[in-house]
Chain A
């Protein structure tokens, strides 16, 4: 089982709140990713990082932001949550030179 963790697992918040979704991995992987997944739909890449101080936007436009200050930590922040942000957010990591991505359990976000 992959050593990648996400908190919280479930979050219900009101519109306009600022939230941070946490993701940590203990495998020493340089590459980390955030995906958004709606029910019955494919995963969409919203952010990725090659390493510390490296962050890039993915294929799907997102109002969220990320940071990578430490190798093991890749938090995602929404400054002002809206109902359209309701979704499942999956964090993943992979080692340099390899492309198997190991996924965390996900955070299911509901914005009322």
Chain B
């Protein structure tokens, strides 16, 4: 069964600190993995996308890593800001269907305190 598991479920950090979010998946055949940021009451917005051959990708203070062998990904946030408070969702796409089916994790709810 194709699944995406994220940890931790929730995280509270102080402004300026770094944090790392984890994602494990069993989706096969694998196409790509995205990290989305979802602010409360809004739709998800893509932060990074990684294909099988990529093992790291940065977008400003966000750095994603991918280990396709162990089927694990992480999202590292550097020098956190209050605006980073959101849910971060790991989304894996398979390449076994014309729809490009997406498998969503439940997200990590990050709260940044001043």
Q: Within 8 Å of chain A (Cβ to Cβ): is B73?
A: no
Given contacts A99-B31, A99-B32, A100-B34, contact A48 B99 (CB under 8 A): yes
Given contacts A40-B109, A42-B107, contact A99 B45 (CB under 8 A): no
Contacting residue for B42 out of A31, A41, A98, A105, CB 8 A: A105
Q: Within 8 Å of chain B (Cβ to Cβ): is A90?
A: yes
Q: Within 8 Å of chain B (Cβ to Cβ): is A101?
A: yes
**Majority-rule SS of B interface residues:** strand
Q: Within 8 Å of chain A (Cβ to Cβ): is B68?
A: no
Q: Within 8 Å of chain B (Cβ to Cβ): is A108?
A: yes
A2 to B102, CA, bound (A): 19
A25 to B104, CA, bound (A): 22
Interface string of B31-52 (1 = CB under 8 A from A): 1101000000111111001000
Given contacts A99-B93, A100-B34, contact A92 B43 (CB under 8 A): yes
Q: Within 8 Å of chain B (Cβ to Cβ): is A43?
A: yes
Across-interface contacts of A24 in B (CB, < 8 A)? none
Given contacts A41-B106, A99-B93, A100-B49, contact A106 B42 (CB under 8 A): yes
Interface string of A83-112 (1 = CB under 8 A from B): 000000011101000111101111010000
Q: Within 8 Å of chain A (Cβ to Cβ): is B96?
A: no
A30 CB to nearest B CB, Å: 12
The A23-81 residues at the B interface (CB cut-off 8 A) are 31, 40-43, 45, 48
A103-B45 in contact (CB<8A)? yes
Interface string of B67-108 (1 = CB under 8 A from A): 000000000000000000000010001000001101011110
26 pairs, CB–CB < 8 Å, chain A vs chain B: A2-B45, A4-B43, A9-B41, A31-B99, A40-B109, A41-B106, A42-B4, A42-B89, A42-B105, A42-B107, A43-B44, A48-B99, A90-B43, A90-B44, A99-B32, A99-B93, A99-B100, A99-B102, A100-B46, A101-B102, A105-B41, A105-B42, A105-B43, A106-B41, A106-B42, A106-B43
| Residues of B in contact with A (beta carbons under 8 Å apart) | 4, 9, 31-32, 34, 41-46, 49, 89, 93, 99-100, 102, 104-107, 109
